[in-house]
Structure 1
Amino acid sequence: MTRTVPLQRALISVSDKTGLIDFARSLSARGVELLSTGGTAKALREAGLSVRDVAEVTGFPEMMDGRVKTLHPKVHGGLLALRDNDEHLAAMRAHDILEIDLLVVNLYPFEATVAKGAEYDDCIENIDIGGPAMIRAASKNHAFVATVVDVEDYDAVLKELDAHDGATSYAFRQRLAQIAYARTAAYDAAVSSWMAAAIGEETPRRRAFAGTLAQSLRYGENPHQSAAFYLDGSMRPGVATAKQLQGKELSYNNINDTDAAFELVAEFGTDKPACAIIKHANPCGVATGANLIEAYTRAFDCDRTSAFGGIIALNQTLDAATAEEICKIFTEVVIAPEATDEAKAIFAAKKNLRLLTTGALPDPRAAITTYRQVAGGFLVQGKDNGAISLDDLKVVTERQPTEAELKDLLFAWKVAKHVKSNAIIYVKDGATVGVGAGQMSRVDSTRIAARKAEDMAEAMGLAAPLTQGSVVASDAFFPFADGLITAAEAGATAIIQPGGSMRDQEVIDAANERGLAMVFTGMRHFRH
């Protein structure tokens, strides 16, 4: 189909009035008759534009606090009539139905209303009814009607009219219809998800997910995979809401790794400087310090090799001294709540280094729904926002952990939540000194983490690896004593793990034989 349709009449009813007057003025200058409702009509008239009220067209006033105004055959007939169908045209003439060639509607701000924490009834009142009904009608009839739901498409409509002597092409109307249906789908998804949460329905019969395109990516995890980045509208501080101050466009892997890094560093709040260095979504170094530069250097010293080309997340404002230190090696991305002007100037010399600022840290305790696609469906769960305190720890060994060990155990436990299973983390004095991730065997993760510490000790000229006198965290229970024994051989003096194995007593006995302290959390942190 190649049909172009002259644009003679437009119905405009918008909540977001950004760009409205200039767009409507351009339509009017092209001889387009403007129909409108309520606040939109008022805004157009105040701008000196001639506009006809929908109530005048339908013969019915707006009623029920505006709930009913466009739900009328004279509106929907004008949107749905097939212009090449004689019966449809006869019905239009018989009932004085006007052809509507362009529908411009953006919906009540339901998502924004929910985001600001409005009460239930306020959210209900911000569910648009007439808007989605008109959008769906006009989009179905895209053979004859153009539908605009986004402000950013106003210019495209005007360019289309210029290109086709005041008409729209079929291909253009098709594209607008697809955009429109995606918008109503996203809107309904937002409403249904909010309502499920509001009534405590954890497993609704149907789930819908939606996003708005933020960035088309060059490729996905690998060059042969197509990819794009979408926003879910939650405004959670992080890579999705960050301001990129410099550097190349973020890649798929950059976005994934940066999210992992910032979510991890957020575990430590803002009270004490902390740094997380991520490679392939796993931390290769995490530390706190008296200042950011100390936190960074201590994190870097966990695994200098893996840190090369990594992602760095900071929990406080990036300063000049830390920026200078970071610039000593190649880094893909640095993300922090803020950055000083001096730090920005230092990074400006590294054109390829991406610097992101977020303004805040995400809340690691927030209740968030996550999902993952599998063949034929989705797995949906709550985000792992579990946390423990000293009061939650159960000492199961003869030796009690020292105060210093307890601090490191809690630190290691926070990191363990963000390491792919099977996860083993050695920590000493508020810094990781060995990380074992993603192995099929827990004892292998224990060995790998210890071996990395040995390699770093050799590279740094240390007499012994930093695992000597460290504590160790395991994201899930030790199924056998071998993992604990390996950690003890690496020099660990205290262990934190969930407990719950059939062989817990065997593991406890092994710890007692070696004079280790061990605590159970009763909580695990699998991360697949």
Structure 2
Amino acid sequence: MSGHTIDPSLYRDRDAIPIQRALISVSDKTGLVELATALGAAGVEIVSTGSTAQAIRDAGVAVVDVSAVTGFPESLDGRVKTLHPAVHAGILADLRLASHEQQLRDLDIEPFQLVVVNLYPFVETVASGADTAVVIENIDIGGPALVRAAAKNHANVAIAVSPASYPQILKSLTLGGTTLAQRQRLAGEAFAHTAAYDAAVAAYFAANVGVRASVSPSATEAQDAMASFDPVFTVSATLQHTLRYGENSHQQAAIYALAGGTGIAQATQLHGKEMSYNNYVDADAAVRAAFDFSGPAVAIIKHANPCGIAVAGPLEEDPIADAHRRAHACDPLSAFGGVIAANRTVSVAMAQTVKDIFTEVVVAPGFEPEALEILSAKKSIRLIQLPDGFALAEREFKQISGGVLVQDSDRFAGWSSADWKLVSGAEADDATRADLEFAWVACRAVKSNAILLAHEGASVGVGMGQVNRVDSSHLAVSRAGDRAAGSVAASDAFFPFADGLEVLLEAGVRAVVQPGGSKRDDEVIAAAEKAGVTMYLAGDRHFFH
């Protein structure tokens, strides 16, 4: 033992508790030496473990190995170090209680007033692509136990889980100790830290190890269908930064990054003003639309809806520039102030076009150096580079009052137009089928009710977000203008009546793909047959709310 004795007077003023003894065990060594040096200079006894103790000792600061406190060596390759009553009793003792004070005396255990712990780098290990055995070894056990113990006993102990908290700890040394309000705030941060950590572990197991909710043999079919959903939905996200405001200026907002995520939240901003809440929403919608396609594609988004989507022509020398040119041509008026996403590196030719168009954000997997230079000449434009390994989420969730909705993301993996059912007109030739396939995929990115007209791999008219399909059809046709004649159309859901289809037929649409399934399919099909128009039923619906 160190010779310290319990001083009850430390705990009589519940607002300020001087730090006399600290336990430090950290994976992230940022700021460790500075913290330990200041604690040592203030006469604080430091108890530490493994590499943390060595780093403190190498800095010339006195440190007590945890094994000297427990009388038990670190064992099992470091899996067991602090899991011992001599440590946890010193953290958990509530010295406002005379009985706890007496028990520590009887057990010859000294209390801690400060615990500094951060956890094994589980999320970083997963992100590195490490195999399962290495990932499992980076699940911290003793660390979360220390953190939770200290946070629970915040009436007596301060807990720091991040180097960002070290300055306030050091300041408290000069002010007579940590205050109750300070310890409460630190405890809240600590519980959030362990909650996020456990959520990341649970998410990894759900995605990689096959841990799922069990379903009894007598479960209903509905329960069987839910077997792929975990019994508890957890989200682990870390605050990236606060935003100027939310969707409107009177709303506060912030962005959090999901643990292990590889999306917009993890992207790197290369240039431009700070991203806004609406920029993030539109950038995410744009990326999702562009990455629905395997070939070079560009989506231009405004208020979460496409102004234009296009793929590159087959013989173009600069495919991504061609895709952008054709996407922009769909609705140049609406594209003003829009968000552009490309699923390929932005080329010089694309940058030359974009620089002359007022654009809020350009997001892509990368930018050619000269393209980055061209676009960076515009001060206001935001240039966002997607992270390595960018991938669209397999599942998505949406907050509702009192709960959360979770669903599989609407993806096109494994689909084929060969599965479509021809119900009217002649089989489409190769060019028409290609346009129908493009329109069907592009239509998914349009808010429902959605109608999208396309020609040669590019949208030419989009009708979105209407409360009936007739209005969406009128909107798509009006936006397309003369381009509607000879185009193909996709509808995200069935036509409940023939009236919406008739709007498209009158405009000269030559082929249509829609899910089918209406009680009036016969009426809709008859209208297509009367016009001599090719129509396919895809079977699947693609609502997007």
> Structure 1 residues 361, 49: closer, same or farther in 2, change over 3 A?
closer
Alignment of structure 1 residues 203-352 onto 2, 5 Å: 203-237=229-263, 239-269=264-294, 271-272=295-296, 274-289=297-312, 290=316, 291=318, 292-352=320-380
Give yes or no for contact 1:9–1:32 (8 Å, CA) kept in 2.
Answer: yes
Of 108-117 and 182-191, deviating more is 108-117
**In the alignment, structure 1 residue 180 sits paired with structure 2 residue 190:** yes
Residue 488 of structure 1 deviates from its aligned partner by 1.4
Of 483-492 and 11-20, deviating more is 11-20
Give yes or no for contact 2:236–2:259 (8 Å, CA) kept in 1.
Answer: no
**In the alignment, structure 1 residue 492 sits paired with structure 2 residue 509:** yes
Partner amino acid, structure 2, of 1:205? P
Give yes or no for contact 1:221–1:252 (8 Å, CA) kept in 2.
Answer: yes
Residue 207 of structure 1 deviates from its aligned partner by 1.6
Partner amino acid, structure 1, of 2:183? R
Alignment of structure 1 residues 106-255 onto 2, 5 Å: 106-116=118-128, 118=130, 122-162=134-174, 164=175, 167-197=177-207, 198-201=210-213, 202-237=228-263, 239-255=264-280
Partner amino acid, structure 2, of 1:511? A
**Aligned counterparts of 1:98 and 1:337: Cα–Cα separation in 2:** 55
**Aligned counterparts of 2:535 and 2:129: Cα–Cα separation in 1:** 43
Residue 61 of structure 1 deviates from its aligned partner by 2.5
Alignment of structure 1 residues 62-101 onto 2, 5 Å: 62-101=74-113
The aligned residue for residue 487 of structure 2 is: 470
> Structure 1 residues 437, 43: closer, same or farther in 2, change over 3 A?
same
**In the alignment, structure 1 residue 511 sits paired with structure 2 residue 536:** no
Identity of aligned residues (%): 51
**Aligned counterparts of 1:216 and 1:332: Cα–Cα separation in 2:** 19
**Aligned counterparts of 1:363 and 1:506: Cα–Cα separation in 2:** 42
Q: Secondary structure at the match of 1:268?
A: coil
Provide TM-score, normalisation by structure 1.
Answer: 0.91
Q: Number of residues paired by the alignment? A: 511
**In the alignment, structure 1 residue 27 sits paired with structure 2 residue 39:** yes
Residue 122 of structure 1 deviates from its aligned partner by 4.6
**Aligned counterparts of 1:230 and 1:384: Cα–Cα separation in 2:** 23
**Aligned counterparts of 2:356 and 2:254: Cα–Cα separation in 1:** 32
Q: Secondary structure at the match of 1:61?
A: coil
The aligned residue for residue 6 of structure 2 is: none
> Structure 1 residues 491, 2: closer, same or farther in 2, change over 3 A?
farther
Residue 478 of structure 1 deviates from its aligned partner by 1.6
Residue 82 of structure 1 deviates from its aligned partner by 2.6
Partner amino acid, structure 2, of 1:203? F
**Aligned counterparts of 1:441 and 1:311: Cα–Cα separation in 2:** 27
Of 1-10 and 279-288, deviating more is 1-10
**Aligned counterparts of 1:57 and 1:294: Cα–Cα separation in 2:** 69
**Aligned counterparts of 1:204 and 1:49: Cα–Cα separation in 2:** 48
Partner amino acid, structure 2, of 1:131? G
Give yes or no for contact 1:399–1:512 (8 Å, CA) kept in 2.
Answer: no
Give yes or no for contact 1:193–1:207 (8 Å, CA) kept in 2.
Answer: no
Residue 279 of structure 1 deviates from its aligned partner by 0.5
Alignment of structure 1 residues 361-440 onto 2, 5 Å: 362-364=390-392, 368-387=394-413, 388-440=415-467
Give yes or no for contact 1:393–1:519 (8 Å, CA) kept in 2.
Answer: yes
> Structure 1 residues 248, 191: closer, same or farther in 2, change over 3 A?
same
Q: Secondary structure at the match of 1:508?
A: helix
Q: Deviations over 1:251-295 (max 9, x none)?
A: 1111111111011111223x43x2111001111111123333332
Give yes or no for contact 2:200–2:260 (8 Å, CA) kept in 1.
Answer: no
Give yes or no for contact 2:262–2:387 (8 Å, CA) kept in 1.
Answer: no
Residue 505 of structure 1 deviates from its aligned partner by 2.6
> Structure 1 residues 296, 403: closer, same or farther in 2, change over 3 A?
same
Gaps of 5+ in 2: 1-12, 214-227
> Structure 1 residues 279, 392: closer, same or farther in 2, change over 3 A?
same
> Structure 1 residues 402, 193: closer, same or farther in 2, change over 3 A?
same
Partner amino acid, structure 2, of 1:281? A
Give yes or no for contact 2:119–2:143 (8 Å, CA) kept in 1.
Answer: yes
**In the alignment, structure 1 residue 15 sits paired with structure 2 residue 42:** no
Give yes or no for contact 1:423–1:445 (8 Å, CA) kept in 2.
Answer: yes
Q: Secondary structure at the match of 1:212?
A: strand
**Aligned counterparts of 2:21 and 2:448: Cα–Cα separation in 1:** 61
Residue 119 of structure 1 deviates from its aligned partner by 5.2
> Structure 1 residues 245, 196: closer, same or farther in 2, change over 3 A?
closer
Provide TM-score, normalisation by structure 2.
Answer: 0.88
Calculate the aligned-residue CA RMSD, in Å.
2.2
**In the alignment, structure 1 residue 355 sits paired with structure 2 residue 383:** yes
Gaps of 5+ in 1: 455-464
Of 75-84 and 253-262, deviating more is 75-84
**Aligned counterparts of 1:134 and 1:384: Cα–Cα separation in 2:** 42
**Aligned counterparts of 2:121 and 2:252: Cα–Cα separation in 1:** 32
**Aligned counterparts of 2:365 and 2:192: Cα–Cα separation in 1:** 33
